[in-house]
Structure 1
């Protein structure tokens, strides 16, 4: 596999199969009416069209080593396409799709621009490098076995197959393929693109049966429309707030921040972990690379100003009613933190977002806000 070998053979196989699936999924975006993508029909991935000339069969390889004249991937693929059970007449194009780059000395670099006769001559030149000793060995290497089968094929069949072959090298790896699929949908916010991809991946895997595995054009279009309708936001919505609980280390790390000191000032120490958690969750939401991050930050500033106005009114009322400084301060804190958030348009923000903004406002020296109530 590209990026280094894993010792876990099952995982290696699974990742290779997933890469194959991503290639098929990417091809689904180019489907036209009446066409379909098939997995494991005549090989790895097949695009089947009513017009055989427009049909393609693709063998998928995800390898780091270069594609050389004697590489097994090349010769094994040719052998598969020459197999009597494979009907090449059903396809107009046969593609070896590999992440490999051409080797520095390979004769294959001009493959896609030369005729079938010239391609055959290239293979003959490569095969001629094999010595009689290598060819007649009792236990020849796997690639020599493949080369002997390919070069022993009927020459007319060989030229017919070679004429359809395209070598697609240095193909995108799995991560790049996912990025490419992310670029396909229109109108879906960036932070929903992973959900879109996962929805399509799940759809493709779910179409596999014991008998066949194919994705038809109309089925794929319907799934794309369904996911787009689900994930295309019509109005601004907030990122998820989970009510993050600050650890002891995080509380200790932020104990000198003004908002923490102002809670300690009113001896409300048991409230500090939640306050630090809300404040941290807010800060993290503001630095995330959200599709609507600019709008989110702008709305956050406006919303915080509204919260500060409401808080100042509550603080003024608490001062008028205060009899005991600490008790009145704690009651103000509890009332403010427990209040339901103000609406923002049609949305009600998460309460952790609201509280995080209040604690953040306590950090502002110019606002000079505090929990302490002095009659």
Structure 2
């Protein structure tokens, strides 16, 4: 199999932080009850909505390495957001700051969850009182001081109502630990299939997003868990889930120099490239993710690809005999090959995207000397 070249991406940190937020939401899905739902980016990061306000929770998810201290931006920025006019705190019985941070050694916030709303207000007032007049009246105060001034300028009764709902959930699991926690929940799924179960659920969560809203309802989540359990509880080999995503413009540009892309360009079948790159990437990702736990998957994949190549060589030979217009004949060969249903693999029929990813991977292997362009010479 060919390998993906790892490249640096300026948005990687942001993407990982957002994925961590999705994992938090997925984990909360397991605690849903009938009539409840998880929402992303509705009033903040993750919201659990119930017919009962007392059971509804809004959670801000933060992944920081530095400890949570009195003057760390995390709490103050979150409080500012919850105090904003557009945020209706009356919909929620609890407001949770979910952070990977540990409490700082000397912070006054350590007892936060154990004290009353009045005491929490007094803690904030004590912290704010440490600011000097020079700091508060500076022409360009620091970002944290701006946040603190906005929070402490709020109506005290309104602020106290907010503070009474706030819970600080510190030392939260990081992404890897969170995945382990999620993988401990399913029952009856063999160890080798747990990763596929996780990826199936993550894909399901992302697929629920629309331009209008992004929510996971209890009934939908239960149905997906039952579907994946039914699919993956069997002891024999199972394919990872393939979603058939189409590559972005950035993906296509990044892999434009690969041989399999150039061979599609050669037959002027440009509109097929995003799907081809997407299938190829999904195949590579499945091999990369599953290689340690799925040696059987790798072996089966190599053997299956060899079968596909033999079948393709026969189709290519026939196409050469029938060719009149090289470009037209080449496109017809491509369409027929990519559109064909996968060969059986034992008792299983592999995903179409898996089959096509293997064909593009074979085209990318220069030693195989395969191509789409039909030369009738």
Shared fold by TM > 0.5?
A: yes
In structure 2, the residue matched to 1:237 is 236
Supply the distance in 1 between the matched residues of 2:57 and 2:178 (Cα, whole angstroms).
19
Which SS does the other structure have where 2:113 is aligned?
Answer: helix
Report what 2:128 is aligned to: 127
1:100 aligns with 2:101: yes
TM-score normalised over the length of structure 1: 0.62
5+ residue gaps, structure 2, are 1-6, 240-291, 295-345, 348-377
SS at match of 2:108: coil
Bigger CA radius of gyration: 1
| Native 8 Å contact 2:193 2:238 kept in 1 | no
CA drift of 1:203 comes to: 0.3
Give 1:7 deviation, angstroms: 8.0
Quote the Cα distance in structure 2 between the aligned partners of 1:144 and 1:129: 11
Cα shift at 1:9: 3.9
Q: Post-superposition, which runs of at least 4 consecutive aligned residues in structure 1 deviate over 6 A?
A: none
Structure 1 gap segments, 5+ residues each = 1-5, 241-287, 291-345, 348-375
Q: Deviations over 1:27-71 (max 9, x none)?
A: 000000100000000000000000011000000001110000001
- Aligned to 1:175, the other structure's residue is in SS state helix
The answer (yes or no) to whether the contact 2:232–2:238 under 8 Å persists in 1 is no
Task: Decide whether aligned partners of structure 1 residues 175 and 144 sit closer, same or farther in structure 2, where only a CA change above 3 A counts.
Answer: same
- Normalising by structure 2, report the TM-score: 0.61
Counterpart Cα distance in 2 of 1:66 and 1:196:
34
CA–CA distance in 1 between the matches of 2:139 and 2:211?
40
Indicate how the Cα distance of structure 1 residues 79 and 239 shifts in structure 2: closer, same or farther if over 3 A, else same. Answer: closer
Question: Where do residues 197-216 of structure 1 align in structure 2 (5 Å cutoff)?
Answer: 197-216=198-217
1:236-315 to 2 correspondences below 5 Å: 236-237=235-236
Residue 191 in structure 1 maps to residue 205 in structure 2: no
Matches within 5 A, 1:59-208: 59-208=60-209
Separation in 2 of the partners of 1:149 and 1:237?
59
In the TM superposition, residue 116 of structure 1 has moved relative to its aligned partner by 0.2
Q: How many residues are aligned here?
A: 241
C-alpha separation between the residues in 1 aligned to 2:170 and 2:27?
17
**Alignment RMSD (CA, Å):** 2.3
Q: 1:305: which partner in 2?
A: none
Shift, 1:238, TM fit = 5.8
